[in-house]
Amino acid sequence: MSQFEFKTTGSAVSSYIKNENQGVGLESKISLLKNDLEQVAQLPKLGVSIRRIGDVKLYPFTDFFKGFEKVDAVRSTFGGKTDEVLEDLKVEFFSFKYGYMAVSDVDGHLLISTHHLKNSEFRVLYLDIVHELVHVKQFMEGRKLFNPEFEYVDNPTEIEAYRHAVKEAKRIGMRDEEIIEYLKVEWIDEDSLNRLVTSVGLKVPQK
C-alpha cells in the first residue's frame, strides 16, 4: 500500500539486500574486503566496527496468503503467469508499527508489517494484497516503483494499484464511504487524499 515505509525503513532494507547480493563473485568479495579494511581503518577514531551484511529472512507468500491465485482481480494482474508468480513470491516481515505493506524495489518481494498483518481488518489486508500484487507486476515489467518526482498519490504506479484495489473493493460490496476510509493513510493530507479519491474514480465527499 505504501511507499512511506520505504522512506523510513526501506533504504535500510534495500541496502541490506544490495549488500547481500554483493556476496556473489570473487570481485565483489574483494571489494567487500576493501570496505571492511576501510572500516577497520576508522576504528582507532571511533572504536567501533560494523558488519555490513545482514540477512533478510524471506518466507513463501503462499504460506500466509492462500487462494489468491483464484481471485479474478489477481488473475487479471498476472494472466497465465498467476500461479507461477504467486508460488515464487516471497514475503519479508518487519515489526514497525507505522507502515503497512510495500514491494521491494530491489527484487520485487513483498514487505509486510507484522502489526498490520495481525491487527488490520480482513478486507483491508485483502485489498492491500490486491494492490501490492499490482506493484509486483510493475516491478516485473521493470517499472520504477518509487519515483521521487511524484508525490505518493500522484505516482502513476500508485494510481494504477489503487484503481485496481478500488475496483475490487466495489466488487466485494464496499460502499464509497468505506473505500474512501480505506484510502486514508497517515502520511497523506486531505488535499492529497481528495486527489487520490478523484484519481480512482470516486467522488470527494462534500462537507
Residues that bind Zn ion (CB under 5 A): 158, 161
**Closer by beta carbon to Zn ion, 82 or else 162:** 162
Least separation in angstroms between CB 134 and Zn ion: 8
Cβ-proximal residue to Zn ion, closest one = 161
For the record, the C-alpha cell of 61 comes out as 507468500
Least separation in angstroms between CB 188 and Zn ion: 12
**Closer by beta carbon to Zn ion, 22 or else 93:** 93
Least separation in angstroms between CB 207 and Zn ion: 27
Give the three-class secondary structure for 193: helix
Cβ-in-10-Å burial (0-12, 13-18, 19+) of 197 comes to buried
Name the DSSP letter for residue 90.
E
Q: What are the angstrom distances between the C-alpha of 126 and each of 12, 137, 166, 174?
A: 27, 17, 12, 13
For the record, the C-alpha cell of 183 comes out as 484510502
Give the three-class secondary structure for 199: helix
Least separation in angstroms between CB 135 and Zn ion: 5
**Closer by beta carbon to Zn ion, 82 or else 137:** 137
Least separation in angstroms between CB 182 and Zn ion: 13
- The number of beta carbons lying within 10 Å of the beta carbon of residue 37 is 9
**Closer by beta carbon to Zn ion, 17 or else 162:** 162
Q: What are the angstrom distances between the C-alpha of 172 and each of 60, 88, 163?
A: 26, 27, 14
* Cβ atoms 129, 72 nearer than 8 A: no
**Closer by beta carbon to Zn ion, 52 or else 143:** 143
What's the rounded Cα separation, in Å, for the pair 193 and 22? 40
**Closer by beta carbon to Zn ion, 161 or else 180:** 161
Least separation in angstroms between CB 131 and Zn ion: 6
